[in-house]
A and B are shown apart, each in its own frame.
Chain A
């Protein structure tokens, strides 16, 4: 009975939000030299939906401006950094939301991807909202260990829709980004 209730409530929460990502802040890890940092910048500039990259060389933070109305694929950002020879330590994305409920373990469709809130309290999210992506490819191994224990759902480990998510009408093995707010 409890399971059915959870399934129903989660189904209700797997709402679609018509929203766009406008920007993100990415921190790269594994490097200190400016030559390495430039490789990361050029790689990020090569990602199709990225309009502009501004770098803080000291902290290795890259401010990304996305193209208007472009489809944002966060995995492509991580792949670009890895191709340059380094890793993503932190990725904070900003989306324009209207009335999205951030419920713990709720799945929300933002843009074209599903987002799983690991720490929501049911608060409504409106306007420009920034959250951190905490899947394996966006945080250090140490941080991932910490975040991945925040939910018992299996999708946290794999980043893909598992049995826990298909109950919410999400096609099996769709990409699910796990976020904290």
Chain B
């Protein structure tokens, strides 16, 4: 598929956005197992999940469509604390090979539960190493940069509908930091934020753990660069659909595209497909 096939005109984007928004909110009274962001809820204690994500990113400055594969392991260490560790392989800078490694930790510090609803809040940190050259100003630790970030998540669930807000402070760690050439050309600090919504479409009525669940999501993903590189922000919309099989396997398919922005990015849009499998372990009897 050529990169052009991925491009959508601003008018179509607006229409698409309006359509998704209408869909999500018309059926609104979900789910919070978002495709792009993490909810404030954790993995259950004593459980482990494995996840494989594939991203297809049409390069903004050539006809190449890069691929990135991210295997990850998620651990529910205790009821309020989870960690995830992952590596990524991509052909962004070179041929397909090892690209980055990352560690993520999340601590849930607030929970107010009622039947079929909850409000949760969590703090998280992330540290990543990437062997990619410093070339673009979209700051993320999913493979592009070496650096650290910390943030806050708040998630509200009401029956089938969930909404979650995430904000984080992100610092790129690179030797070009602090030297004049580097500071004039590259962004090293950004505030990233997201507003994620989700809705549980199927089943209409739960009868068994073997029923396939279908969730739809719409996530707004934004970034504000701190510094004087002349580039300030981008805002993306990412609709996605997810199927959950036998209450354990989660298959998600999403498309993320830029609504507006002025940041030099590797790709302004891209597909994401991921599969995550949850292994629940009960405590030893």
Contacts and interface: CB of A to CB of B under 8 A. Distances in A.
Interface of A: 27, 29-35, 37-39, 41-43, 45-48, 55, 57-58, 60, 80, 82-87, 89, 140-142
Contact of A89 (B30, B113, B283): B113
A144 to B, nearest CB: 12
B253 interface: no
A84 B278 CA distance: 13
B31 A34 contact: no
B211 A83 contact: no
Contacts of A85: 41-45, 76, 79
Contacts of A27: 115
Can you list the 3 inter-chain pairs with the closest CB atoms, starting with the nearest?
A46-B282, A30-B113, A57-B206
Interface of B: 30-31, 33, 41-47, 76, 78-79, 111-118, 157, 159-160, 200, 205-209, 211, 213, 244, 247-248, 250, 278, 280-285
Contact of B113 (A41, A57, A58, A140): A140
Contacts, number: 109
Given A33-B31, A35-B250, A37-B209, A142 B114 contact: yes
A14 to B, nearest CB: 33
Given A27-B115, A58-B205, A83-B44, A33 B79 contact: no
Contacts of A30: 111, 113-114, 117-118, 157
Nearest to B285: A48
A35 B280 CA distance: 10
Given A46-B285, A89-B115, A140-B114, A33 B248 contact: no
Nearest to A46: B282
Nearest to B116: A32
Nearest to B206: A57
A83 B46 contact: yes
Given A33-B200, A86-B113, A140-B113, 14 more contacts: A29-B115, A29-B117, A30-B117, A32-B30, A35-B248, A35-B278, A43-B280, A46-B282, A46-B283, A83-B46, A85-B42, A85-B44, A85-B76, A142-B114
A52 to B, nearest CB: 13
B160 to A, nearest CB: 7
Contacts of B247: 34-35, 37-38
A83 B200 CA distance: 24
B113 A39 contact: no
A33 B157 CA distance: 10
Nearest to B211: A34
A2 B39 CA distance: 56
Contacts of A48: 285
A60 B115 contact: yes
B206 A89 contact: no
B118 A38 contact: no
Nearest to B82: A85
Nearest to A55: B209
Which of B43, B76, B79: most chain A CB closer than 10 A?
B79
